[in-house]
Each structure stands twice: as structure tokens, then as C-alpha cells.
Amino acid sequence: MLAAAMSCATAPQPPGFPMVSSRADEPVAPDAAPAASPFHHDPVLLTEVLSYVPVGARVAVDCTLGAGGHARALLERFPATKLFGCDRDARAIAAAEAALAPFAARILLKRLPFSELPHHVLAGSVDFLLADLGVSSPQLDEGARGFSFTRDGPLDMRMDPAHGGRTAAEWVNRGRPEELLRLFYELGEERFAPRIVRAIETARAAGPIATTGSLARIVAEAVPKRFQRPGFHPATKVFQALRMAVNDELGELERLLASIAGLLAPGGRAALIAFHSLEDRRVKEAFRAWEQPCVCPPELPRCVCGKVPLGRRLTRKPVTAGVDETRRNPRARSAKLRVFEKAPLAPGDRP
């Protein structure tokens, strides 16, 4: 029911995973993950996520695998479930393979963006799909990855450097002022974007801005001191905007949302965890449109547009972390979980 290739080309194919498409057996790029400290990431809202897995789920998809925390708990709780996992980060895949080794016969892992899921997962086969959006703790905590404004490193921010793409340094040093202004306003919701862009222009005129530490200092000096909050780095929103642009995070999310309905089996559920308003708004609006697709004027006595609801929202409001979890893992404070359930088969419909 899933793709034919494991994340390592030499790994044997588990039984029960027939090929889906001609692209599904492409081997993962052979480049090795960079040597670094162990890849560890605490899964957020774990208890809440597991509570939404349908009883009897046969196929689950974790499209933001990370270190495999959610996936491992799911496989332990549901022994009949097989899981397809993917991630753009080579180190995440390596860590997940180690964490999920006891379940080797029930998993299939690939390094790829979740927008490519339709090429690897059979349409209408997924009973539970999970996406934990955003960036993982190891990516934030290691300066060498180029995501952190508190640990100096190369200004990169690519989740999958092996596949190329425009780095954060290229955005900062070569981006037109109006491009950076729009980026910081739209993706960072940064009120001081004009001041920050002017400061970047001045700094890069003297030489390339090459490190995260350099950019963080430039931004911090541009933001008025009276508006800097304790415990909130003034470069937070700029770094968020750059990371999202470098990895096309909103584009990836839009493509995932466009594919979910086709991937889910009747009665299947999609659980998405967002960490900021730009992601959460898109998830909320998509779920609402799936549940209430009618576009007829409200004055009409009945629907004539022919749009049929795809299912229902199981979370009218987002599920958030409790006090104990936020105390243990402060990054869980901004997590918002929303769940959608695809309509089951009507009596007489073909499975």
C-alpha cells in the first residue's frame, strides 16, 4: 500500500509494501548526514496526537518524521499499523531509522518533502496522516545548521542542503530591498522590517553577511531597544521569515493540503500541528472549506453548487499543550493541533 523503496537503497523491502508509482523506487541520495551531536527531538502533543489515531488504522503516514518520536509511539500503541515516514533532513531520517529499528517490518522511510507524498503513497489508503510543521530542535540548537540566532554558524537554513537551493545568505546578500521588505513583513510579520532592511543594506555594502551571529547582531541593533522584550530575541521573526522562504514552507504546506483529501481512506484522519499563525490559518481555512464547501449565496433556499463536504473537523478549536508539557518543553507553547476526518463510505458505496 506504500512505496517500494526504503530510505536506504540497500535496505530490504518490508513485506506488504507494493510499488505505487514509477517514482516511488528512486533511491535516496547517497550523501551521508553530517556528523554532529545526536539528533533528539521531543514530540509535541504526543498524547493528544495518539488519541486521534483511528482504531484499526492499517496505514499511517508521518510526513515530518524528525527523530521518530511520534512514529515510535504510534507503532507501539497500534501493533497492526504500518507506517510510511518522510523528512527532508538526512540526519532526521538516520535518527528515525535507529529509533524505529524494532519496527523494521512495518515501516518505510524516505528522505523527501511531504509535497511528494502522492508519488509514494497510494491514493485513498491512509488511515492517519500526521504533519508536525516547522523546524525541529536539533536544527535550531546546532549552529552549524544555520538556523540559530543564538549559536553562530553559516547563514544557510536549508533543511536539505544536498538538493541545493537558495541559502539564507543568498537571500540576505543578494535580495533586492523590496524583496526583503516583503519577506520580513509577510513571513515574519516584523513591524520594524524597513529599519532592518536598511541596516542589512548598510552592512552588506561593507562585505557579505556570512553568519547567523552577524545577521542576528544587525537585526538586534536595528530594532529599537524599548520594543525588545525579555526572553524574545529581536531577530526571531527575521530568522523565521528567512527559514520559511529558503525552504518554501508555506508552499510545501499548500501542496500537502491539496493532496490530503486524495490520500486519506474513507474515515481516515489528518492531524496537523502548526507553530505560528501563518501555518495555522491555512490549516484552519482548509479544514473549514472541506467541511463546508458550499459557495451558494445564503439567500438560496437550498444548495445548488453541488459541492459535497469531504468530512468534518474533529477539533473546532486547536488543541494546545498543557502546563506540564510546556514546562518540560517550552517550544510546545506555540503548538496548535487541528484534526480533520474524511467522510466514511456511505451505505452501498464501493470501498
At the topology level, CATH places domain 46-138+249-342 in Rossmann fold (3.40.50)
Contact residues for 70 (Cβ-Cβ < 8 A; gap 6+): 43, 46, 49, 62, 130, 132
DSSP string over 161-190: GGG----HHHHHHHS-HHHHHHHHHHTT--
DSSP secondary-structure letter at 42? P
Reference 97, options 65, 140, 145; nearest CA is 65
Q: Are the C-beta atoms of residues 97 and 7 closer than 8 Å to each other?
A: yes
Spatial distance between the Cα atoms of 149 and 219, rounded to a whole number of angstroms: 10
CATH number given to 161-246: 1.10.150.170
Splitting the chain (351 residues) into consecutive groups of 10 residues, what average pLDDT does each group show? 39 43 42 47 92 97 94 97 94 93 97 92 97 73 63 88 85 97 96 98 97 95 93 91 94 96 97 95 97 90 89 97 93 94 77 58
Per-residue pLDDT at 261: 95
Q: 72 near 100, Cβ under 8 Å?
A: yes
Predicted model pTM: 0.85
Give the pLDDT score at 347. Answer: 62
Domain spans of the chain, in order of start? 46-138+249-342, 161-246
CA atoms within 13 A on the CB side of 201: 12
133 in Cβ contact with 62 (< 8 Å): no
